Amino acid sequence: MPADADAPRGAPPDLSLPALREQLWDELVAAVGQHGHPWRTPVLATVCLAADGAVAADARTVVLREVDAPAQELVFFTDARSPKAAQLAAHPHATMVYWSPALAWQLRLAVRLTLEREGLAVSTRWARLKMSPAADDYLSPLPPGTPVAHPAPERGTRAHFAVVTARVERMDWLALAATGHRRAAFDADGARWLQP
Ligand SMILES: Cc1cc2nc3c(=O)[nH]c(=O)nc-3n(C[C@H](O)[C@H](O)[C@H](O)COP(=O)(O)O)c2cc1C
């Protein structure tokens, strides 16, 4: 694990576990509202099946759209036809990975994913999004990953917008510092410090 000049920006705070947990949720809430915040664009890792049927892993960046700390839920949007949508339908357990160079904090969240394609949760968010340039992401006539002759994006009229809710089941926090790394876990069994 590196503790070089590029990563740590000071020692991790000397916090109690409950205060740390609160600070992690505060940081996630802050990330939604700050475009440059590194935790706004976590990596989402899912389980998939390879062509030969073997269990495999997949991962990609998503934008964190909403955080409900009391409910321990996060929201991101996707195209309902995307491979990740099929993956999470088959295997709803996933991991989200966040790294903040400013804090020198890594946060790994074990989550259970639920995808909604219709209903109030979808229509209210699509109503807000559809007038923005981001709407194009959900209006392609072709599903994500389809081979195309030319790389120019096409805009259709039918939206394939889906809302994915990630319920957090476990948080694994790692702080890098030259004075000593710190690690803690939070889950249904409680909170505890871990050997980094
Ligand atoms: C900075 C960034 C943010 C992204 N945000 C999202 C997002 O919020 N939702 C999404 O479905 N794809 C998002 N993407 C695209 C995905 O990373 C991915 O390429 C695409 O969704 C296809 O993924 P899949 O084949 O695993 O389904 C983002 C990509 C980048 C680089």
CA of 63 to the centre of ligand 1 (A): 8
- Whole-Å CA distances, 20 to 13, 173, 191: 9, 9, 10
Q: Which domain holds residue 57?
A: 17-142+155-194
* CB 45, CB 130: distance < 8 Å: no
Please indicate, yes or no, if residue 150 is contained in any of the structural domains: no
Give the span between the Cα atoms of 146 and 164, in whole angstroms.
22
- Indicate whether 93 belongs to any domain: yes
Residue 8 located in a structural domain: no
Q: Which atom of ligand 1 is nearest to the CA of 60?
A: 17
The answer to whether residue 6 is domain-embedded is no
Closest residue by Cα to atom 10, ligand 1, is 78
Q: How far is the CA of 11 from the centre of ligand 1 (A)?
A: 33
Number of domains in the chain: 1
Q: Which of 44, 58, 62 to mutate to test the pocket of ligand 1 (most atoms within 8 A of CB)?
A: 62
Residue 177's domain is classified under what CATH number?
2.30.110.10
- Is residue 7 included in any domain, yes or no? no
Assess if residue 112 is contained within a domain. Answer: yes
Atom of ligand 1 nearest to the CA of 46: 26
The span from the CA of 94 to the CA of 16, in Å, is: 28
> Which residues, 6+ apart, have CB-to-CB distance to 104 below 8 Å?
7, 8, 9, 10, 12, 175, 176, 177
Q: How far is the CA of 102 from the centre of ligand 1 (A)?
A: 23
Residue 2: inside a domain, yes or no? no
DSSP assigned state of 48: E
pTM, two decimals, is 0.94
pLDDT tens over the chain, length 196 residues: 544 444 445 445 578 999 999 999 999 999 999 999 999 999 999 999 998 999 999 999 999 999 999 999 999 999 999 999 999 999 999 999 999 999 999 999 999 999 999 999 999 999 999 999 999 999 999 999 999 988 877 888 899 999 999 999 999 999 999 889 999 999 999 999 999 9
Taking the CB of residue 94, how many other CB atoms lie within 10 A of it? 21
Residue 63 in tokens:
């934008």
Q: Whose CA is nearest to atom 11 of ligand 1?
A: 78
Residue 101 lies in a domain: yes
